[in-house]
Structure 1
Amino acid sequence: MADKEHLRILRGGVDRWNQWRQKNPDLQPDLSDANLSEANLFVVNFRNANLRTAYLSDANLRSANLHSADLRDAYLSDANLSNANLSNAKLSGAVLKRTQAPGANFQKADLTGITIEDWNISSTKKLDDVICKYIFFKEVRQERRSSDCTKTFAPGDFAKLVQKSLETVDLIFSNGIDWKAFFQSFGDLQVEYGDRPIFIQAIENKNDGTFVIRLNVPPDLDKGAIKRQAMKLYETKRLELEAWYRSTLHLKDEQIEDLRQHNKDLMELARLKPNQPIQNYINSNVTHQHGQGDNFGGDRIQGNKVIGDRDETSER
């Protein structure tokens, strides 16, 4: 539990806290399990502080000094760590879901078991010598990396993984996908980002009804924002098309569900000749079933994946 006196001083403001730290440089502040959600902690001095299991969601920690701080199992969802110093910090088990961390220094930090779902980091330059055996991509702790639960990262693997993640955004559709809605909404997404190129890198079938569409994006863009906007545009387009199916094609609920179920089966695409464009398949299929077709900017089929012009199909 946090030291009540330490909490009282912190609640007096960052300036007061930092002055107190200057006068007591050898004292280790105990803020373990403290609820600091939404706190404004800009440039706070948390050097060597015990913040284990602390709640720091939505906290402003920009330019904070967290050197050698104990942040094990801390909850940093939606926190702002821009330009913060986390060198030598203990972050094992911490949740950094949607955390903003451009410019943050993680050198020699222990990042084993952290969750980095939709986090935003600007580069891998400050990931030198991190300790990291594995990470989680989802807060539910179901998507572990390294590649399986019996293996751990080799030195440098985490930085490589982060570098790859800087260039990609994964859109996950766990209940199948309406291809028509997706390609139309993807076109809208590209228009929104103008001259910043966003491409489809791969489409994967996870064999449980889940599709993962991997987008290749400029590394300096906010990946979480792209993902949220892409899914919002898709859902809007899906509902628009569903209304169109009802009003124009006069489809009933069971027919719309029939169409959804058909769209779930990516293996139908894989049965086509290699290199046949997706849009030809979707267009002919929708026309055949419902008398209406559209053109799509599509990609190509290779095995159980559909890949774009940038042929990067290796597993993460």
Structure 2
Amino acid sequence: MADKEHLAMLIQGADKWNEWRQMMDESEELCDDFYEVNLSGADLSNVNLSGFDLSRTDLSGANLSDAGLVEVDFSYSALCKADLSNSRCQGCNFNEADLEEANFSKANLTYANFNGTNLISVNFRQSRLWESDLSSANLSNTDFSESTLVGSNLRGIQSNGAVFYKAILGSANLSGSEFTGANFSEADLSRANMSGTDFAKANFVNANLYRVEALESSFISANFTGACLKDWHIDAATQLDDAICEYFYWGLDQQNRCPQNGIYKQGELAELFKRARNLVESLLQKGL
């Protein structure tokens, strides 16, 4: 349980708390436990709570902007509508926390754990999520615009209408997930694993899909206009029915436009790759 003296000092604000914490750290008398405390609506902006146990704590509506929260345990806590913008949350554990409508814009969330977390309508705009774990989280209407998710785990995601506009998802794992209606326009998905995932009606306009793996995935009615499809890996089970693609690029940096002139009609992308696959199979059968 939280120490009453520590709690009383915390609610006095960042200046007094941070000065007092430094003194307590030096004396090794700091109790780093705010387990099950009610801090809903509290102003904790700029506070240094790095290393604390805030599991099962009520922080709904709290202001944690610009806070130092490195390796804090937020598991099973309530942080709905909390403001964690520009906070330092490297290595934080948000396992099974409720973060609906929280604000993480410009936060550093490198190596953070969001496994099984409610992230509905969360704002992650311009945040850093390098190698974070978002597996099995609910990302419906979540905004990752201009965020960095290189090497992150998004496997088993349930999402409807998530936004990844201009996000960087290089080498991320999006397999076995549902991203129906998601917006990946101008996103960098190079070398990402997108196999076994439902991307029906998703927006990949001007996206970079260089060397992605999309085996057994569904792109029904998705939009690939202007996307880079160089060396992407699909198979006979990849569904491109009714996909929209007026043109795409077979090279990086918008090189090798296909078609060179004019545009494809809706559904032609599926036929194009079907013919290409049949040709390759025919050549293989002939031993060429």
TM (norm. structure 2) is: 0.52
**Does the 8 Å CA contact 1:52/1:72 hold for their aligned counterparts?**
yes
Q: CA deviation at 1:154?
A: 2.1
C-alpha distance in 2 between matches for 1:39 and 1:25: 15
Greater strand fraction, Structure 1 or Structure 2:
1
Equivalence for 1:62: 175
Tell me whether 1:11 sits opposite 2:112 in the alignment: yes
**Alignment gaps of 5+ in structure 2:** 1-84, 87-102, 123-136
Which amino acid counterpart does residue 272 of structure 2 have in structure 1?
A: L
**Distance in 2 of aligned mates of 1:31 and 1:10:** 16
Show the counterpart of 2:270.
159
- Which consecutive aligned stretches of 4+ in structure 1 deviate over 6 angstroms post-superposition? 22-27
Is the 8 Å Cα contact of residues 91 and 114 (structure 1) preserved in structure 2?
Answer: yes
Number of residue pairs matched? 173
Question: Within 2, Cα distance between the matches of 1:128 and 1:162?
Answer: 11
The higher-RCO structure (CA 8 Å, 6+ apart) is 1
Structure 1, residues 239-279: CA drift from partner, whole Å, max 9, x if none? xxxxxxxxxxxxxxxxxxxxxxxxxxxxxxxxxxxxxxxxx
Identity of aligned residues (%): 24
Q: Displacement, 1:106?
A: 0.4
Which structure shows the bigger proportion of residues in helix conformation?
1
Aligned residue type for 1:55: I
CA distance in 2, matches of 1:217, 1:91: 31
| CA deviation map 1:50-99 (0-9, x unaligned) | 10011011001101211111100110110000011110111101111110
3-state SS in 1 of match to 2:245: coil
Contact 2:215 2:238 in 1 (8 A): no
Structure 2 residue matching 1:46: 3-state secondary structure? strand
Long gaps (5+) in structure 1: 170-196, 200-215, 219-307, 311-316
SS of structure 1 residue aligned to 2:275:
helix
RMSD: 3.5
Q: Any residues of structure 2 matched to 1:21-40 within 5 Å, and which?
A: 21=120, 28-40=141-153
TM-score normalised by the chain length of structure 1:
0.48
The answer (yes or no) to whether the contact 2:216–2:237 under 8 Å persists in 1 is no
- Report the residue type matching 2:153 in the other structure: N
2:27 is matched with which residue?
none
Alignment partner of 1:103 out of 201, 216, 222 = 216
Quote the offset at 1:155 in angstroms. Answer: 3.0
